[in-house]
Each structure stands twice: as structure tokens, then as C-alpha cells.
Amino acid sequence: MATRRGARRLASAWGVRTAAAVTAALVTCLSVPAGAVGILPPDSPPGNIPMSSSDYLTSIDTARGDEGVGPMNVAEDTVATLPVSEQMFIVLNEERIDRGLPPIAYMSAQLDAAAQLGVASASDPAIPATLSGGSPVSWGGSIWAGGLSSVFGADYYWMYSDGLGGPQDPSTNEDCTAQDPSGCWGHRDIILHQFASCGSAAPTLVMGAAYSATASPGGSIAALVVGTCGAPPTDVTLSWPQVVASVLAPPHVIGIATLPDGAGYWEAESDGTVAAFGAATYYGSVAGVSLNSPIVGITATPDGGGYWLVASDGGVFAFGDGPFYGSTGSLHLTAPIVGMAATSDGDGYWLVASDGGVFTFGDAPFRGSMGGRVLNRPVVGMAADPATDGYWLVGSDGGVFSFGAPFFGSTGSIELARPIVGIEPLSNGLGYRFEASDGGVFCFGQAEFAGSMGGRVLAAPVVGMAAGGTADAYWLVAADGGIFSFGQAQYYGRITN
């Protein structure tokens, strides 16, 4: 496989090769948006990431997890039914939006044709000076891969094996050598490029892609992405909203909330579906409602008589005796909301964003935040201290930030097998646990360890945890709805799709 990247006008051409090939082009300087997630240009991963599986998407999701970025929101079997050009549109946009970058808005027939010429010549597609309709191209980049028939394979090599590697993991990037490392991670830089603004407006991003099974041994894949401050092209073949509405993966479980005595729990899915188990009562959901953003969390009221759902844009949906005190659904956020916690009396709640920003509603006091500070890894969860009405934030590396609450420890200085995905407090506030995506559990303060799923093969990653009625009782929940109970926690059932 070989990879190569080339650039037009303000950028130079780069190249990459192995058994397959990839190329890419880049124009203009790079910048990092506020509240971004993962490693973004001009930063690069510390080294190539070996494949964790023979399946490319599994390897991609593992590598993303190492950056604190969640799995791709794609159903591999569904994507495989689409034309390769549309597959590339989905995969490149997933890499961008999951790191806080704006999506590529359109595909165009003109750029698809340019990509087709690139695959035919096994080289970077040429970037046009203007789009159909006449809008000038201000910035552009092109990438090419040879020896591959899989879009996920091309993405893996472009994004996660584009730098210098050791003897067991040689680089696929022809322009990345120990003698001249300037071309390392060039494909990744193009895919994650932050295009310059058009004054006070955002640029319009457009791409094209193509594939040939015969132009290069093993297959030839190419794509190009351009930006314009003018109008969209007149030959649009596909838009990102169309993909979001019709192609992306089906809903998945995002969290669990429990009754205070541990006699039941609720599971919630990204589309707002809620299911109740044990003694937990179903109070409603937003399933079937057209949401602006997916649901990312569920929080029970202190008495267990209701719950709140929160979406990634900060929209809050209240059910049962959970009062609505406000949301950030109408605000422009610099980073997505990733968690929610309720005050001890249930008369308020906090929301936390991935950049550590904290938003308070009702009687929830503001004790501080990490908003505006440089984080080693993004914040992935929040827990309230019932003893002080302070709170803890946890990053994907297990770093803990305490605000008005005691610090009991963290894994911030430990190399983890998989990223942390959430935090749960003890009911007395004298400790907390957090969980990793592989089901590993870490206990601090008086929190007791009663077992974990670490080291076991899981059908889906763990996405959340909830505490039971005793110090050694807790549940883990996976994205497929699987429930794992430990200590005195009882299993009451699960969502099945």
C-alpha cells in the first residue's frame, strides 16, 4: 500500500508509498479551533498506530480512542453499499466533525471527475481554479492511495499510519523519511485542515472522490477538498445533511441512570429513546422527535421520580419530576456538551462541554471550569459531589479536575489501555469511580472495587457507569445496550435492537 499527497499553488507536493499509495495537497496555514477534540494540525500523533484488527474500521476506532475521539458513527455494512465516492465523503467528514471541525458541505460532479483523472493516473488529482458556477477556489488539497480497494483502509493509512514507523510498522507515506520528516502526516493534515474564514463568514467546503480497480495494482483511490468564499457549486451531487438524515449509523446506547436505592435503572439511546428496568418507571422520551443534535447523557433526579436527557448542543429534555431550568440549545458552543449532573436537591443541574466549560442552571452553583485552558485530553464526563454541591470533571486520560469538591486521585499520569469515558460519585461524596471504554474500572477515595470488564472481549465499547445503593454496587453499560453488574448491583434487563 502506498500513499502520496500533493498540493497546488501555495503548497508543495508530497508523496507516500508502500504496497499501496496515497497522495495529498494542502494550501494555506493551519489553525486549531477552540474546543477541538483529539490531535489537530499543526500537532501530529507521536508515531504510527499499528492496526489492532484485520478490520480497518475497528483499527480506526481503536486509534481514535487513543486520541480521546469516539468511534465513527457509521454502520460499515450500510456504507459498503454506497458508491466509493460517497463512502469517502462520509469517512472524511466523520474524521473532521468528531474532532470539532466543520464538515465538508457538498460533493460536486466537477470534483468527482477531477478525482477520477487522479485515480486513472495514480496521482494526486489536480485542483481547479474555479468551481462550477464560477466561485473561485481559495484553498485546496488532494490525496491519493494505491493498492487499496477499501475507503476505510485508505483512511486508516492517511490518518493513523502517515508518519515515521519502526521496522514492524513502516510508514506508507513516501514523503515521510528519517532524512526528511517534513512530509510526515501530510495526508492527515489535509483531511483535518482548518480552512481560513471568509471575513466574518465560514467558507464553503466541497469535495470529490473516485476509485478505480484497475488503474493501480490492488486499486486506486483519490479525493480532493477545496474551499471557497463564493457560492456553492452548481453541480452538487450530495450534501452532508442528506447523509446525516439517511445514512449514518442507527441509534446506540449512550448512558445509564439509576434509582437511588439501586432497585432499577434507565438506559438511553442517542435518538432519545429511554427504557426502564427493575423498579424504574418510564416517564417519557424524545424518540421520534427530530433532534438538532444527538442525546449524549441521561441523569436521574435525586428521588428517582424523573430524569433529564441532554443533547450534544446542550438541549435539555425533562421528564417525571425533573424540572426544566434551561439549556444551551440556542447558544453557539465552542465545544459539544458531553455530560450533565444534578444538584443534591434536584433543583438545578450543570452541563459540561468537552473543553471543560461548565454551564449552570437552577440552583446549581458555579465553582469553576476548565474552559479556555489547555487540556491534555478532552473532558468526557462530570459528577456532582452530594456533600458540597461542588463537582468533578474527568478527561479521557483520567485526569480529574475538582471544583468545590475534594480530590481523591486520578489516572492522569498513567498510560491507559483505553480512554476513560465517564465518572460516577459515591452517594456520600467520599470517593468516585471512572470507567474506560474497554470496561476497566478505577476507584478512588472510599469507592470499592467489585470487578470490571477490563481485559475481556466486548461486543461494543463501554459508554457509561452508574452507582448502586451500596458502596460496592455499580453497573457498566455498553453502546449495544449490554449491562454488566458488579458487587451488589442487580441485573434487571437491557435494551436490545
- At 355 the pLDDT is 85
* pLDDT of amino acid 16: 29
Percent of the chain whose predicted confidence (pLDDT) is above 90: 54
Sorting pLDDT into bands at 50, 70 and 90, what band is 32? very low
246, 267, 298 - which closes a domain? 246
Question: Using one digit for the tens of pLDDT, what is the confidence trace for 292-306?
Answer: 788 999 999 999 999
User: Residue 492 falls within a domain, yes or no?
Assistant: no
Residues 232 and 271 in one domain: no
User: Is residue 70 assigned to a domain?
Assistant: yes
Per-residue pLDDT tens for 461-487? 899 999 987 888 999 999 889 999 999
Q: Is residue 493 part of a domain?
A: no
Per residue in 203-221, pLDDT (tens digit) is 999 999 999 988 888 889 9
Assigned C-alpha cell, 90: 462520509
CB under 8 Å to 149, separation ≥6 — which residues?
211, 213, 218, 219, 221
- Could you report the per-residue pLDDT of 78-111, keeping only the tens digit for each? 788 888 999 999 999 999 988 888 889 999 999 9
Query: Is the residue at 111 inside a domain?
Result: yes
Cell of 114: 477531477
Residue 192, pLDDT score: 95
Do residues 354 and 317 touch, judged by C-beta distance below 8 A? no
The pLDDT value given to residue 461: 85
DSSP bridge partners of 106: 206, 239
Residues 59 and 149 in one domain: yes
Residue 110's identity, in one-letter code, is Q
> What digits encode the pLDDT tens for the residues 231-263?
999 999 988 877 876 666 567 899 999 999 999
Q: Are residues 230 and 279 in the same domain?
A: no
Give SS3 for 236.
Answer: strand
Give the chain's domain count: 2
C-alpha to C-alpha distance for 464 and 16, rounded to whole angstroms: 40
Question: What pLDDT shows up at residue 177?
Answer: 83
Q: Looking at 189, 220, 246, which one is the last position of a domain?
A: 246
Q: Is residue 496 part of a domain?
A: no
Same domain, 384 and 420: yes
197 & 308 share domain: no
Distance CA 370, CA 100 (A): 17
Across the chain, mean pLDDT equals: 86
106 and 232 together in one domain? yes
Share of the chain above pLDDT 70, in %: 90
- Name the residue range of residue 286's domain: 253-486
In a shared domain, residues 312 and 369: yes
| Section 121-143 average pLDDT | 93
